[in-house]
Amino acid sequence: MYIEIPVGKEVDFDIITAGAGKGQVLVNISSPSGKVMAARVDETIDGYAAKFTALEAGPHSVNVMFAGQPVPRSPFRVLAVKDAAVAPPPAVGDPSKVKAFGPGLTTGKANAPATFTVDTREAGPGGLGLTIEGPSEAKIECFDKGDGTCDVRYWPTEPGEYMINILYNDRPIPRSPFKPHVNPSTMVDVGSVKVYGPGVQPTGKPTQRRGVVQAAAEWTFVA
């Protein structure tokens, strides 16, 4: 079954590469007469957008390559027709129905992976965008589970407050941006601190002041 496109009018489609790694995207279109033309490919927040114009009527093959290999179901078959009826606009997903949850949205540790999950199953069709800002650049990986959910993993390299922006159809989801606090990779061991001296212990012998030290440690941790 062919998808109809109009002759002489530019059409476009999205190529989602989030979670697929790094690779060059190439799109070539073969016309009924055997001519091959390259589509214009622009980078987007979650992959690429390809645009082309069919110049003659008839069946066309749209070949999509990623990292030198054809993507699943490529080549795609389209039928260019003159005066093709304009298809109704596709349904747009609702960002307010996207859910995000997991420990990586609230806290993390420097130089260690932090994780969270994004659930779009109730939101309808749409594109997911993720950005992370903070004291240092954080590598992001997204694992699409194929059921409308994806697991996200990122690596903050410096402690401090980060900002996670989650967009669906270019609009923020509820509670976005999230602001996790990333702790240093090596935490202070207050259990080994000893306090002694005439001002706190008449005998001058070392003693554990757990109550005082613990309170100070908690205050420092929160700050």
Distances (CA, A) of 9 to 4, 48, 56, 58, 137: 12, 20, 11, 14, 41
In this structure, the answer to whether residues 198 and 139 fall within a common structural domain is no
In this structure, the answer to whether residues 37 and 7 fall within a common structural domain is yes
In this structure, the answer to whether residues 99 and 168 fall within a common structural domain is yes
Contacts of 89 (CB under 8 A, 6+ apart): none
- Whether 137 maps to a domain, the answer reads yes
Q: How much is the pTM?
A: 0.47
- Whether 86 maps to a domain, the answer reads no
pLDDT digits (tens, 9 = 90+) for 166-177: 999 889 999 999
- Say what the pLDDT of residue 86 is: 54
Over the chain (223 residues), what is each successive 10-residue block's mean pLDDT?
A: 85 88 89 90 88 92 92 91 65 90 96 95 90 90 89 94 93 96 77 69 52 29 28
CATH number for the domain harbouring residue 116: 2.60.40.10
Can you give the length of the chain in residues? 223
Q: Domain residues for 216?
A: 192-222
pLDDT digits (tens, 9 = 90+) for 98-140: 999 999 999 999 999 999 999 999 998 888 889 999 998 888 9
